[in-house]
Amino acid sequence: MDLLATTSAVAVTSYALLSAVYKSAQALYAQPANASSLDDDLAQSEIALPSVDVIVPCFNENPNTLSKCLESIASQDYAGKLRVYVVDDGSANRDVLRSVHNIYANDPRFSITLLPKNVGKRKAQIAAIRSSAGDLVLNVDSDTILATDVVTKLALKMREPEIGAAMGQLIASNRGETWLTKLIDMEYWLACNEERAAQARFGAVMCCCGPCAMYRRSALALLLDQYEAQFFRGKPSDFGEDRHLTILMLKAGFRTEYVPDAIAATVVPDGLGPYLRQQLRWARSTFRDTFLALSLLPELDGYLTLDVIGQNLGPLLLAVSSLAALTQLVIGGSVPWWTGLTIAAMTMVRCSVAAFRAREVRFLGFSLHTPINIFLLLPLKAYALCTLSNSDWLSRKVANVAEGESQAVTPHPNAGLSPSSTARISRTIRQPGVSRRPSSLAVTERVCASDRSTAYK
C-alpha cells in the first residue's frame, strides 16, 4: 500500500507542477496581442480583397441544419468575390436534401455537386478544391453557422503571404440543449481562447479546426497530394483531416493563425455515446499527427515543445496517479487524500481563471469535466493509443428527419441574389457607429436551437 500511495502522490505532484508551468505560460501567451481593428483595416481603400471559395462537404445531413449553414454563407458581408461549393458525398437522404439544393440552384455563387457514392469527407473536399480557383479556400462543416463577418475577418488575417491557414472561434450552436452541450461549449472556449490563442502567438496553431478554417490556395496546391494520400501503418487515413492538413502546412514552412472574433457556431454531441465516439476518433487523430509534428518542434518556439509535453505527458501523469489512488482505495481501503485534494485544487484554479478571463461565472461548472476526464476520457485515450490503426468514423448515420420536415425548409432572403445585390442589402441594414462584434455574437446566439447532427463529426 505504501508503494501505491507513494506512486499516486509522486505522479499527482508531478502533474500539478507540470500543469502549473504549462497553464501559466499558456495564460500568458493567450492574452490578445495589440492589433488594428477590422474597421481600421476596411478603411484602408487600397486593400484588394482576395477571391474566396467556400467548400461545404455534407453527408446524411439534416436538411434544416444544412439550410441554416448555407444561409449563413450566402449572407456573408464580404466585398470580394465569393463562390460556394456544396459537395453531397453520396448521402442516403438526398431526396429530402433536394429542397435545400433547389433554394440555391439559381444563385450564381453556388455550385452543388452530387457524388454518386460516399468517398469520405477528405476526398469530397479535395474534389471541390480541385474544381475551384479562388485565392483562398474556406472549409466549413455542413452543421456550422458562420457570423456574417467571418469570411472578411479570416481573409484579412490571410493578407500576410507567409500565413497558410487560419481558423475562427468555435462555439456550440446547441449549447442550451443538455448539461453535456453546455460543458462542450466551455471546452471549445478553452481550446480556442487558451490553447489556440497561445499557439497563435508563435504562428503555429497545431490544429485549424474543421468547422471553420481558411487556407491559402497556393499552399494547398503544394500539399494536396500529400493530404489526399495519408496512410497510417499501410492503411488509408480519412478522419482527422483538419489536424493533418495543419501539420502539413507547418512542415511546409507556413504559419497557422487563430482569429478570435471570427465566430462560427457548430453542432456538438448532446449525449455521452456520440461524444465518446467523437473523442475516440479525435484521440486517434491527435496521436497520429503528434508523432508527425515532433520533427517540427526544434524549428518552433520553446513554448510549443512545452505545449506538446503538457498535452501528452500531463494526461499520462494524471492517469497514473488516479489509477494508483483508485487501487489504493479499493484494495487497501485507505483514502488517497493528497491525490484527491491536489486534483480538486488544480481543477478549481483552472475553472476560476477561465471564469475570470471569460467574465462568465458558468465556467466554474467546468469542474464537472474533471471526473469525466479521469473516468471516461483517459481510459478512452489509452484505448485509442492501442487501436491507432482503426480508421472507422464510428458516428456516420442518416439524419433523423420527421415526415414532412423537408417542406419546412424555407429560403433565406438573399437566396438567388447576385453578390452586388447582397452587398447593397448588407449596407442598408448596417447601423453606422455600432460595433460589429455584438452582431456576430447575436447571430451565433440565435442558432442555439439547431438540430443535432453527427455526420462528419
Among 168, 167, 250, smallest CA distance to 204 is for: 250
What is the torsional sign of CA 380, 398, 72, 220? positive
pLDDT, average across residues 362-377: 97
Average pLDDT for 432-441? 35
Q: Is there a contact between 63 and 91 (Cβ–Cβ < 8 Å)? A: no
| Three-state DSSP class for residue 214 | strand
Q: For 185-189, 292-296, 412-416, 420-424, which range has the lowest pLDDT when averaged over its residues?
A: 420-424
Q: Are 457 and 278 a contacting pair, CB within 8 Å?
A: yes
- The bridge status of strand 163-172 relative to strand 212-216 is antiparallel
The pLDDT confidence band at residue 291, using thresholds 50, 70 and 90, is confident
Q: Using CA atoms, how far apart are residues 58 and 211, in angstroms rounded to an integer? A: 12
**What is the band of 41 on the pLDDT scale with cuts at 50, 70, 90?**
low
**Which tens digits make up the pLDDT trace of 67-125?**
999 999 999 999 999 999 999 999 999 999 999 999 999 999 999 999 999 999 999 99
pLDDT one-digit tens code per residue, 164-205: 999 999 999 999 999 999 999 999 999 999 999 999 999 999
The answer for residues whose C-beta is within 8 angstroms of residue 323's C-beta and 6 or more apart is none
Q: List the one residue out of 343, 342, 347, 388 whose CA is nearest residue 364.
A: 347
Strand partners, 171: 265
For residues 345 and 340, give the distance between their C-alpha atoms in angstroms, rounded to a whole number. 9
Name the packing angle between helices 272-293 and 378-386 (round to 10°): 60
- Judge contact between 52 and 216, C-beta under 8 A: no
Res. 333 pLDDT band, cuts 50 70 90: confident
Give the integer Cα–Cα distance in Å for 324 and 331. 10
**Confidence (pTM):** 0.85
Whether residue 30 contacts residue 198, with contact meaning beta carbons closer than 8 Å, is answered with yes
Task: Determine the Cα–Cα distance for residues 92 and 100; give it in Å rounded to an integer.
Answer: 15
Question: How would DSSP label each residue in 340-354?
Answer: HHHHHHHHHHHHHHH
Give the pLDDT band (50/70/90) at residue 445. very low
The candidate with the shortest Cα–Cα distance to 451, out of 133, 135, 67, 119, is: 67
Could you report the per-residue pLDDT of 295-318, keeping only the tens digit for each? 899 999 999 999 999 999 999 999
Q: Whole-angstrom Cα distance, residue 286 to residue 380?
A: 13
Q: Which 8-state DSSP code applies to residue 91?
A: -
Q: Is 78 left (phi over 0), alpha (psi -120 to 50) or beta?
A: beta
Least confident span in 4-8, 212-216, 249-253: 4-8
Instruction: Name the CA dihedral angle for 392, 398, 400, 404, rounded to a multiple of 10 degrees.
Output: 170
Asked whether the predicted pLDDT for residue 413 surpasses 50, the reply is no
State the DSSP H helix or E strand holding residue 84, giving kind and residue range, or none if neither: strand 82-88
H helix runs in 104-235, sequence order:
121-131, 150-157, 179-190, 197-200, 217-228
- State the DSSP H helix or E strand holding residue 212, giving kind and residue range, or none if neither: strand 212-216
Q: Is 364 helix (H, G, I), strand (E, B) or coil?
A: helix
Binned at pLDDT 50, 70 and 90, residue 457 comes out as low
